[in-house]
Each structure stands twice: as structure tokens, then as C-alpha cells.
A and B are shown apart, each in its own frame.
Chain A
């Protein structure tokens, strides 16, 4: 299953700054009947069925515990970007709106501003399990009005996955741990020279990969330069940044030197699935800059079971550009369960949401999707900690992790990042020119007065 862009601890610090927040608070429990089914919308794509299996189990448990009530699963079959669009189109009208939706925190603030969701505070006050959520996670779906609009179900971090066999063949250590970007490039060149037929590294780039390109790709580089896309204290977006050019230059280097997949493969919409189901298990890709959930594809419940994955694949933190700062960097995100404004029956919808995020269900989901837990009781549970050998590694990156701008403009800025990357990958523009075009595009999106060189 392709899960990406999680943004949980996102609310970090108290006030989440939103560019605009004209969101009406009125909780609308409009619905009348107690009979109506609660419609739950989620994304279904690719061959993985982790979410489907999980929801099916929750559905039967919910219906058994609440006799007479039903839960209706509404899979939205769509790739990442199409999922958001379809969901937003559904939420626009009371007639088509689901009651409970799976929202990426990447877009939740945007959808709160649009008025699609309703706050859950009145329910949270009476929910004793809310204390089990880590404080940082509680902020994941908090809007500028201070109200909470979604319950997070897990988080993630990102790092370098590498094939130990291929690296040793290239004369590198099986405990490979690059300290700088140059170390990564050096290793890639070794692999290219010594292990023919193997692609040294994959870094998602370009519009086909969507948010994965922005987050697993560009931002893992850019935030490792010590720079930032957006300063929420000053409410300014970063333009004219030399670090932006540096990050694009790294992308250009791996593509120019053919250290990355051929652009025609890298820019194909199937790249995400191919990396996790074809290139890595097939041993044709040595290093992959990707998320903590990657191994969920290879578990028995995943889309491409791969028994030996833990013996073959190693993990290393993504280094900062020149090893400065903490020396390593990660990005985090997360998904939440939220209630739509047009939910037919708010009480029932809440019952569904609280069932979805209860200890037992959350435990099973976090294990099956290889997510970093956000509930303290799940994180401490031995079945969880013992379920996946990489959990400890990816949890250890939480202290150095960064979060994307929690701002309604971010989704469009993110697209401009993908455009800039793709221009560089295809050779349409030099890193400097692509960065310049990005600057202009950002000025157009947020207004020139909200930009500065940070």
C-alpha cells in the first residue's frame, strides 16, 4: 500500500498558524435518524489491502457492539492527488458527503478552511482515551481556531533504505551510514561502477510522484540544508533561497550522472509502486529515499510479500547537506479520521471515529501498516514493538524530524516544487532557472508581500 505524506506531530508547539481561517465552528449534528448508516470514505489504490482489511474488521466489530447501526465503507479508488479531489467533490454537497473521512494532515487545514469538517472538541472532552495520544500528535488536526478536527492514527518518518547485498558488492559497508550528501553521491558512483545493471538511488522527483516528490524527495534534501520553506512566525514564504538551488542541483546530479532511474521511469505515475514492489524486492535498486511504511508492502498483509526483506534491506538516516546540525534529517506527516460538516448523525459518526482509533484497532493498524504509533499505550505494547524490526530505527528519527508548512497555501506550493524538480530532471531548466520560476510561482500563489529570502 502506498501511504505517504503523514503529518502528525504537526501541530508542534501550540498555535498552528493558518494563513486564513474562516471556518465556521457550529457543530452540526443535523441528522435525525438513528438508523442511517455511517459512510466512511478512504483511499484504495494499488494492490495493498491493509486499510481495507482493517476497516472491514472494524466494521463488523462496530456493528456487533452497536446493534442496529451500520457502517458503510466507501473506498475511493484513486491515486493520491485524485483522492483529495474526489473527496473534496463529495464533501461539497450534503447529498454525496460521507460522514467520516480519512484526511491527510497535508490537506486537512485546507479542508477546514473550506468548511468541509466539523470540530470534535465536544466529543473529545468526554473521551478518556484522548489522554493516550501524545501531545504533539494531538495538534495534528488542530485549526487556527484552536479546535481539533481529526484524530490521528499514526505518523511516519523518512530515511534511506538500502540493499545491503548490493552495497557490499560495491565495496561499501553493510552498516552504511553517509554523513553528507557527497557521501551519498560517492556511494552511488561506486555502485554504478561496480554493480552494473543496478540503479544506484531513487529520489522521487516530478509531478507524477505527486506529494511523494515534494516530501520524500525535495524536502528531505532542502530541510537538510538548514533552510525552511515557510517561517510561520514571520508568515513569510522563502524565495530566492540558494539552498533551494543546491537541493535541485543534487537532483540534477543524480539524474545527469545516471545514478537515478531513467527519467522516463522516474516520471511515470507508477514509480512509487514499482520501487516498492519491483525494484527493491528485485534487487535492481540499491538505495531508496523513502518512508518508514515502506516495509508494510513486504509484510504478509502487504501488496508484495517478501520474506527476506529484513535481511536484505538496511536503513540509514538521511544526512544533512554537509553533516551540520544534528547531522541527520527527517520529515513527518500523518493521517487523521475526521467528521464532515454534512455528517448525517454526529453522535454515530463519532462512535465510528472513536472505534477506528481505539487501542485495539489502532494497534492492529499500526502493526499492519508499519506506522510510527501516536498512542502511548500502542507505542509501549510489546506486540507493536516486536512487530517490525525497523520501528525502533524510524521512531529514533522523531527528534530530528521536520513538518511541512501547516498552511492552506502549501498544497499549491508543493506542486510548484514538483514542477521545479521535473524541469530539472527533464533538462527543461537549470536548477537556478527552475528555482527562479518557483519563486515567481510562489509569489503568485501567496502574494509577493508574504515572501522573503529566509
Chain B
């Protein structure tokens, strides 16, 4: 989990030499063909259809439905010249950075560190709470947060007496959904870091302690450098997960008010299904794919550097 290279993978050229006739290879591959065929039909098929649809005016109703035409890059041009699209890209980045890169990542690490140092009872309690949030279905989590933050929700019941009550989903929508996503997704980072921290040899930490390193210095100069690869891997995974979050935001705000929490997945859904513009919607899906790709490349570079 902490590393991306496969342990024991053959590296030397001599290991790659064929040790058996080609016929055996084919015979061995034969049992795989149903699986491959299924993958092609049900996974590659829809993806290819998506790519195709992104270049057409496919729609659920109206002209694009009866008479589908190839429109070249028109969908992409329309997207890149649209304010609503630009707004969604910005919100998607805000949501991803706030809730995944900062929120889930930092909190996950903090919880993992806390668990390492605390007694068994605390460890179990924290584990159950955090993982509980992770196990709850996305839509249920969204509804819980809706109930908590809504105008007559739990939070306002508590702080309303101090005059601080307000409709959080209306005043701070993107912050509200980011918070909910941190709450829901932190368990994943925590588990990843738990695994990584347990692999740091105790002697190294003890040695650092002997040398007089304080807690903060130990974390900065010993722990983090030792789990750096895990940090990057974790960041990559949670970023990709967060980019595609839909159910949580849809349940909490439906992308509103206005378009103040309309991230790319919600914008895509709206265009494809509320306005029936499947072609345009799939084009946005491809853009989202590209955004994920860019993030991945950045993280891969970071990984390669060390």
C-alpha cells in the first residue's frame, strides 16, 4: 500500500527471456478471454461511447436525439467559453484542495499519529468513529450533514442561542460540502498512514528522541521524510476520489444556491440529464478525466523525484 513498485518484479533482462513456447501462453490466456470480453463490452464500450458522444450533439430529447450529428470540437469550445463551466472548474479545485489535499490528508495523518501514541481504548474509539463515517453510504452522509447544517438543523439549535445561527448551506455552501467530505473521507487517509507509521522502525524514533529532537522536529525530520512516498500515493488516491464526488454534494446542496457549489460532476449531471444535452455532458466528463490526469502526473513526478 505504501509503495507503487511491485516487490519482486523481474528487472534483469535475462529474466524476461521466454522460457516456454508461445502456444502455452495462448493456452494460458484462454481462460481469461471471457473476462476480457466482458471488460471490453461493459467497461471499454461505454468509455468509447462517451468519447464518441463528446464529439456529437447527442441529446435525450429534441433534434439531437432524433438526428445525431458529429459536431467536432463544438462541445469543448462551448464549455471553455462558458462562465458556468469556468465556475465549476474553480469550485472543483477549491473543493479538492480544501477537502482532500488539506483536510483529509492532514487530519488523517494527525489521527494516525494520535492513534500510534495513545492507549488501546482511545485507539479503538477513534478508529470506530472515523471508520464509521467512512462506511456510511455517501448519500446518507450527505443527508446527515444536511440535517446538521440546515437552517433549523442541529448546529443552529446549539449555537442559535448565541445568535450565530444561519443557513450554512446557503451562506457557505462550498465550505459546508468540503467539511462533510473531510468528515467522510478522512478514514481512508488515516488507515493509509496507520500502515505507513507502523513500518517506521521504533529504533529510529528512539534515536531521534535520544538526540533531543522534540515532537515537532521528529515529525518534520524523521517521520514525514520516511513516509513521503505514502503521502504522495495517498494524495493521489484521495484527489482522484474527491474529484468525482457527486452524491454528497447533490444531497446537501444540489450544487446551489445558484451555482455556488456546482462542481464539475454536478455541472456534468445537470447538462446531461436535466437539460438532456448528453453530448455536452460527456465532453465535460472528458475534461474532468483530463483534470484527474493532470493531478496524477504531478503526483507521479513527485514520487519519481525521491
Please list the residues of chain A having a beta carbon within 8 angstroms of any beta carbon in chain B: 19-20, 22-24, 81-82, 84-85, 88-89, 92, 107, 110-111, 113-116, 206-208, 262-265, 267, 269, 408-409, 411-412, 415, 419, 422-423, 426, 428, 437, 444
Contacts and interface: CB of A to CB of B under 8 A. Distances in A.
30 contacts: A23-B66, A81-B274, A82-B273, A84-B61, A85-B276, A88-B276, A107-B61, A110-B62, A111-B61, A113-B66, A114-B59, A114-B63, A115-B65, A115-B66, A116-B61, A116-B65, A207-B258, A262-B167, A263-B257, A267-B256, A408-B61, A409-B62, A411-B62, A412-B277, A415-B274, A415-B275, A419-B258, A422-B256, A422-B257, A426-B260
B61 A114 contact: yes
A207 B260 CA distance: 13
Given A208-B254, A208-B256, A423-B258, A114 B275 contact: no
B257 A264 contact: yes
A114 B66 contact: yes
Interface string B240-280: 00000000000000101111100000000000011111000
A141 to B, nearest CB: 15
State the 7 A-B residue pairs at the shortest beta-carbon distance, nearest first.
A114-B65, A264-B170, A264-B167, A115-B66, A88-B60, A110-B61, A408-B62
A116 B82 CA distance: 31
Nearest to B255: A207
B65 A428 contact: no
A447 to B, nearest CB: 12
A114 B274 contact: no
Contacts of B228: none
A116 B64 CA distance: 12
Contacts of A262: 167
Nearest to B277: A412
The interface residues of chain A, by DSSP majority, are classed as helix
A111 B62 CA distance: 6
Contacts of B82: 444
Contacts of A422: 256-258
A92 B273 CA distance: 14
Nearest to B65: A114
A20 B273 CA distance: 21
B258 A426 contact: yes
A381 to B, nearest CB: 36
Interface of B: 59-63, 65-67, 78, 82-84, 151, 167, 169-170, 254, 256-260, 273-277
Contact of A22 (B63, B83, B258): B63
Contacts of B273: 82, 85
B50 to A, nearest CB: 16
A444 B277 CA distance: 13
A294 to B, nearest CB: 25
Given A88-B276, A415-B274, A114 B62 contact: yes
Contacts of A84: 61, 276
Given A88-B276, A114-B60, 11 more contacts: A20-B63, A82-B273, A113-B61, A116-B61, A116-B65, A263-B257, A408-B63, A411-B62, A411-B275, A426-B257, A426-B260
A267 B61 contact: no
A206 B273 CA distance: 18
A380 to B, nearest CB: 37
Contacts of B170: 263-264, 267
A444 B78 contact: yes
B57 to A, nearest CB: 11
Contacts of A437: 83
A88 B61 contact: yes
B63 A207 contact: no
The interface residues of chain B, by DSSP majority, are classed as loop
A274 B10 CA distance: 66
Contacts of B65: 88, 92, 113-116
A52 to B, nearest CB: 25
B239 to A, nearest CB: 28
Given A85-B274, A415-B275, A113 B256 contact: no
B40 to A, nearest CB: 21
A409 B65 CA distance: 13
A113 B57 CA distance: 14
Contacts of B63: 19-20, 22, 113-114, 408
A207 B60 contact: no
A88 B260 CA distance: 29
Residue of A19, A113, A265 with highest tally of chain B CB at under 10 A: A113
B14 to A, nearest CB: 55
A422 B59 CA distance: 25
A191 to B, nearest CB: 22
B23 to A, nearest CB: 43
Nearest to B84: A419
Nearest to B274: A81
Contacts of B275: 411-412, 415
A3 B254 CA distance: 22
Given A411-B275, A422-B257, A264 B62 contact: no
A111 B63 CA distance: 9
Nearest to B166: A264
Contacts of A265: 151
Nearest to A86: B273
Nearest to B256: A267
Contacts of A22: 63, 66-67
Nearest to B83: A437
Nearest to A410: B62
Contacts of A23: 66
B259 to A, nearest CB: 8
Nearest to A423: B258
Residue of B63, B170, B259, B273 with highest tally of chain A CB at under 10 A: B63
Contacts of A113: 61-63, 65-66
Nearest to A108: B61
B284 to A, nearest CB: 15
Contacts of B260: 426, 428
B168 to A, nearest CB: 10
Given A114-B65, A408-B62, A264 B276 contact: no
Contacts of B167: 262, 264
A415 B82 CA distance: 15
A107 B84 CA distance: 24
Contacts of A110: 61-62
Contacts of A263: 170, 257
A254 to B, nearest CB: 17
Nearest to A89: B60
A313 to B, nearest CB: 27
A110 B64 CA distance: 10
Nearest to B272: A85
A404 to B, nearest CB: 15
Contacts of B78: 444
A410 to B, nearest CB: 10
Nearest to A408: B62
